[in-house]
């Protein structure tokens, strides 16, 4: 893995984004970190580059605003002169079933989980094309392929849309004959972070999935997969190896899968 890469990470003040920043920074990469909470972001930046604070910079940003996403790009280029990897990680869950969703619920899930990534791709991919190389990682969810946690409702839908648009971009790049520019989708399942507690309308930790479903992973397990993906780009990856087989069973017969799945 090249230690000289410059990596931009959104949603980097906590959870997967923070852990990835620390992992890549300590691997020797230069990281540009975006999030709204500048105090926590600064703490992550310090942890990512404890011996050389210039290799990790914190940029206060709200990625639901296109101008803030563009600012992230511009600051990274001004400081380091290049960008090699862009991680669209910012996201937020919800704990509300479909029939109770409000307009505001849907708008927030789309803005945070989908539009922010679209802004990221639109902001950085033209630069990657011009530069001749680059890699976008869109952090989705296993729920994009296996939307059986119905209390996540609009979150599931937004992540499914993110998977679809990522595939669309890959096909567009292929159609244009672009080489050296990659768009990867990362699909974690349940991760032992505060994601569930920070979800809209959260009433506490998520229930543990049934034994037949992929089980929780540590955040270090997830970022280890992401670090390998940066070194070896692929279109999609489940961070939990057990997820692919479960998704295959789901797709084969959705009705039968739903009927046989324990409710939780």
Residue-wise pLDDT for 30-80, tens only, equals 999 999 999 999 999 999 998 887 999 999 999 999 999 999 999 999 999
Of the candidates 127, 155, 182, 250, the residue annotated as catalytic is 155
Lowest mean pLDDT among 28-32, 113-117, 152-156, 258-262: 258-262
CA proximity to 116, closest of 83, 86, 151: 86
The pLDDT value recorded for residue 52 is 86
Q: Are 131 and 155 in contact (CB under 8 A)?
A: no
Q: In this model, does residue 18 exceed pLDDT 60?
A: yes
The pLDDT value recorded for residue 203 is 85
CA torsion sign for 219, 264, 138, 113 is negative
CA atoms within 13 A on the CB side of 222: 27
Report the chain's mean pLDDT, rounded to a whole number.
95
Name the DSSP class of 142.
G
User: CATH assignment of 6-260?
Assistant: 3.40.50.720
Exposed, middle or buried by CB within 10 Å (0-12, 13-18, 19+), for 45?
buried
Name the DSSP class of 115.
I
pTM given for the model: 0.95
Between residues 208 and 146, the one the model is more confident about: 146
Give the span between the Cα atoms of 188 and 243, in whole angstroms.
9
CA R_g for the chain: 18
The pLDDT value recorded for residue 2 is 53
Kindly state the tokens that stand for 131: 């530069």
pLDDT in tens, 24-39: 999 999 999 999 999 9
- The verdict on whether 155 is a catalytic residue reads yes
**Per-residue confidence band for 1, with pLDDT thresholds at 50, 70 and 90:** very low
Give the span between the Cα atoms of 177 and 185, in whole angstroms.
21
């Amino acid at each position: 893995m090249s230690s000289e890469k410059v990596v931009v990470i959104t949603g980097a003040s906590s959870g997967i984004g923070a852990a990835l920043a620390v992992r890549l920074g300590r691997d020797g990469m230069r990281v540009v970190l975006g999030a709204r909470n500048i105090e926590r972001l600064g703490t992550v930046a310090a942890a990512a580059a404890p011996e050389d604070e210039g290799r990790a910079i914190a940029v206060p940003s709200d990625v639901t605003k296109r101008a803030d996403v563009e600012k992230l790009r511009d600051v990274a280029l001004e400081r380091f002169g290049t960008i090699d990897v862009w991680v669209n990680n910012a996201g937020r869950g919800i704990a509300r079933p479909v029939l109770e969703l409000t307009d505001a619920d849907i708008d927030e899930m789309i803005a945070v989980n989908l539009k922010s990534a679209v802004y990221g791709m639109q902001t950085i991919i033209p630069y990657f094309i011009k530069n001749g190389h680059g890699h976008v990682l869109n952090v989705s969810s296993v729920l994009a392929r296996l939307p059986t946690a119905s209390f996540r409702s609009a979150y599931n839908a937004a992540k499914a849309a993110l998977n679809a648009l990522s595939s669309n971009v890959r096909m567009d790049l292929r159609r244009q004959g672009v080489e050296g520019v990659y768009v990867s989708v990362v699909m974690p399942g349940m991760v032992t972070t505060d994601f569930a507690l920070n979800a809209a309308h959260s009433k506490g930790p998520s229930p543990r999935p049934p034994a037949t479903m992929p089980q929780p992973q540590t955040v270090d397990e997830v970022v280890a997969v992401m670090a390998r993906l940066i070194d070896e780009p692929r279109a999609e990856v489940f961070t939990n190896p057990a997820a692919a087989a479960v998704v295959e069973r789901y797709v084969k017969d959705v009705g039968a899968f739903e009927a046989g799945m324990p409710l939780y």
